[in-house]
Amino acid sequence: MGKEFSTTPRDVPLVDTRHRRIISKLPHPDSVAVLEKLRQFEPQSMRGQPPLVWDRAEDIYVYDRYGNKWLDWSSGVLVTNSGHGAPEVRRAIIDQVNSGLLHNYVFPSEERAELVEFLVQLAPKSLGKAFLLTTGSEATECAIKLARSYGIRKGGNRKIGIVGAERGFHGRTLGSQQAGGIPGQKGWIVNEDPAIVQVPFPDGYWTEDTSFNLFLATLERKGLKPENVAGVMFETYQGVGPDFAPQEYIEQLGAWCKAHDVLLIFDEVQSGFGRTGKFWAFEHYGITPDLVCCGKGITSSLPLSAVIGRGEIMDQFPPGLDDQHTHGKPCLLRCGAGESEKDRCGKSDWERRESRETSR
């Protein structure tokens, strides 16, 4: 549970360094009216952040309008992988707004064609199709739907099990929270799907046993046989840590999934687009999943997400059965194209830069 912060301005130590500048009380007295308006018209669940009213953000810095400046360690909570307000992204948004096309339902557009092609080119060769959505939760929900549909096609109505990880996070919607492993977030669901289960995440800290045998033993204890499992969805690294699983564990998991016709899904919403020094975090494991969920850093700004996967999985639904009313959203798509423009030298150049930064 988050902490609610006071909106009463108070004196704090003054700071003036290369990366930070604090020259006033916090929150600034002139910002209190904004904070109180938010408290009046928004639910209290939105009060979990320090009461600092952002005015603008550039690169790795956040500014208020009163002369204060902060270093954003979180990259906009894992969104602004290319920095806040990257010039290429700003230009792409402005160009699209000025083009006159802001919405086109699911009718074809050049922007959508360019972005899905670009995403597929960034993915491993076996993942040949991409489906665009808006949020990370939508992407993981879509992956659950695809996995279950695939499981039913392969093994009938009994092959619908989804396996997640304890302490995992995949979003805040009905299916994504059930796939996640944070019990405190699920109390509102009450009637949880019995075919969605969690296994311990082998981080070596909360779970000391990092062997794949624990995965198998947990499924057996929960009464879920391999022939009843449609998909396994893990965050590539677990965001609450952050923690990676041992490579041997993931290799064995991949082999187990192949042996039992189970889809391996990596949730890369937080970890993709260069976050870990490789373009996709799953590349650290040397294994290719069947489906990849991505978002956040895909635009470094506006909300956009995607599921990238094998053609036979992505093509399960006939025309019109699995589209999305805002699938077109050209401004967001052009924003993704702006990200590609930022990386004119390609994926390998991004990886080199990210690896250099993370090794400092």
What pLDDT does 345 receive? 40
What does residue 57 show for φ and ψ, rounded to 5 degrees? -145, 135
What pLDDT does 105 receive? 86
> pLDDT tens string for the chain (360 positions)?
578 899 999 999 999 999 999 999 999 999 999 999 999 999 999 999 999 999 999 999 999 999 999 999 999 999 999 899 998 888 888 888 898 888 888 889 888 898 999 999 999 999 999 999 999 999 999 999 999 999 999 999 999 999 999 999 999 999 999 999 998 899 999 999 999 999 999 999 999 999 999 999 999 999 999 999 999 999 999 988 889 999 999 999 999 999 999 999 999 999 999 999 999 999 999 999 999 999 999 988 889 999 999 999 999 999 877 666 556 566 666 665 555 544 434 555 655 555 555 554
Q: Which helix (DSSP H) or strand (DSSP E) does residue 196 occupy?
A: strand 196-199
- Rounded CA-CA distance 235/177 in Å is 13
- The model's pTM is 0.92
Cβ(199)–Cβ(218) under 8 Å?
yes
What pLDDT does 344 receive? 39
The tokens describing 181, both together, are 């492993």
3-state class of 104 per DSSP? coil
- Rounded CA-CA distance 79/53 in Å is 19
What pLDDT does 102 receive? 87
**Could you give the C-alpha distances from 288 to 49, 90, 213, 326, in angstroms and in order?**
37, 33, 21, 29
Dihedral of the alpha carbons of 335, 338, 339, 343, in degrees to the nearest 10: 170
